[in-house]
Amino acid sequence: MEIGKKEFFNIFKVNFDYEIVDTLIGKAIKMSSYDAFIYAYITGSGYLDNPFFQFKPKGLMDIFYNSLHYDFVTGLFDHTTINNTPYILSQSKPNLFIEDKYIVPVEFENESKLHEELEKYINIFEEAGLNHENIIIQRIELRKKGNGMEPFMEYLSSEYFKRHNYIVETQIPLSHRDGSPDFGGYLVSALDKKNILRSYFNGGFSIIELSMIRNFPNSKFSLFNNYDNSDDNELIVGEAKTSTFYMASQLEKYINTGFFNSAYEIHPNKVKPSKDFFGLLSINKNYKIFVNEPIDTYKLFSTH
């Protein structure tokens, strides 16, 4: 399926407990400010504060350029100064973590049409005396094959594996040669075996949540102080596509680094993995997210 506005709402309705509500500009997914920030960070969706340049947290909290190297990129740090954290961002944007947010999918053909539409949305809210900055715009780019929804598939992957006790992240900076995987998940066996993840996290969590502790104080993360390392951990990697089925060679490159145990293709239309040693995350005809696990083990031909 191509993910448009209709499919977007159906996927949420079938797989999540978020409420679908009516707003002044159409239907939306209602989320807490906490969940919405994670959504915006992963998908690159923007808060409706400006019709031309919406505030987007994606990329603002990057730290390193390469794995196993400790050179900072501008993001969370500016040189050695802490620059962008959820707390610092909330000081300049006080509404960021106040009140519920509303994810509104917007289909558009070109940027000028989108800008016109967003400007109209802002005027509607201002005339009604309501805060348009509580709206988050999910772009659906009809001019692109696959509608530019790869980041949305990254979000679905993150949420799926979080519910299966994984610690997850997206856009992982490996190296210029190896690229940046769209998705990674880490099942830390020492925590999982003690049921810590299930009991305290209601599943796993996204690494970005660690940066939000000051905004949302929660003692559950103190459990990591007692973490015992284990070699029996599951480290997975994924590549998301909506415009092509071609991702096998990239996944092989990722898994051949030796950093991961298994790899997953992420695609809304794919029904079977390209190779037996790949897993697959996809969406069935009833809009349910499903995962086929790898049935074979990848044989490394070189490691770093």
Tens of pLDDT, residues 289-298: 999 999 988 8
The residues, ordered by sequence, that sit 6+ positions from 190 with a Cβ below 8 Å of its Cβ are 227, 228, 229, 230
Are the CB atoms for 157 and 150 separated by under 8 Å? no
Are the CB atoms for 273 and 293 separated by under 8 Å? no
| pLDDT average, residue stretch 119-123 | 97
Between vectors from CA 39 to CA 62 and to CA 183, what angle results, nearest 5°?
A: 60
Q: Where are the domains of the chain?
A: 5-55+93-148, 150-292
Q: pLDDT category, 20, cuts 50, 70, 90? A: very high
pLDDT at 30: 98
CATH architecture of 150-292: 3-Layer(aba) Sandwich (3.40)
Q: What letter represents residue 78's amino acid?
A: D
At 193-250, the pLDDT tens digits run 555 554 445 568 998 898 898 888 764 554 444 444 445 678 999 999 999 999 999 9
Are the CB atoms for 170 and 43 separated by under 8 Å? no
**156, 168, 157, 236: which is closest to 204 by C-alpha?**
168
Two tokens, residue 189: 């066996």
Distance CA 206, CA 168 (A): 5
Cα distance between the two ends of the chain? 38
pLDDT at 53: 92
Helix crossing, 5-15 with 150-162: angle to 10°? 0
pLDDT at 225: 46
Say what percent of the chain tops pLDDT 70.
Answer: 88
Two tokens, residue 172: 């992982």
Q: What is the overall mean pLDDT for the chain?
A: 88
Number of H helices, E strands in the chain: 8, 14
Between 66-80, 106-120, 226-240, the lowest mean confidence (pLDDT) is in: 226-240
pLDDT at 217: 78
Q: pLDDT category, 120, cuts 50, 70, 90? A: very high
The dihedral of CA 274, 12, 124, 86: what is its sign? negative
pLDDT at 69: 75
The residue with greater pLDDT, 82 or 96, is 96
| pLDDT average, residue stretch 259-274 | 95
Two tokens, residue 8: 């977007």
pLDDT at 174: 87
86: helix, strand or coil: helix
Distance CA 7, CA 59 (A): 27
The residues, ordered by sequence, that sit 6+ positions from 79 with a Cβ below 8 Å of its Cβ are 72
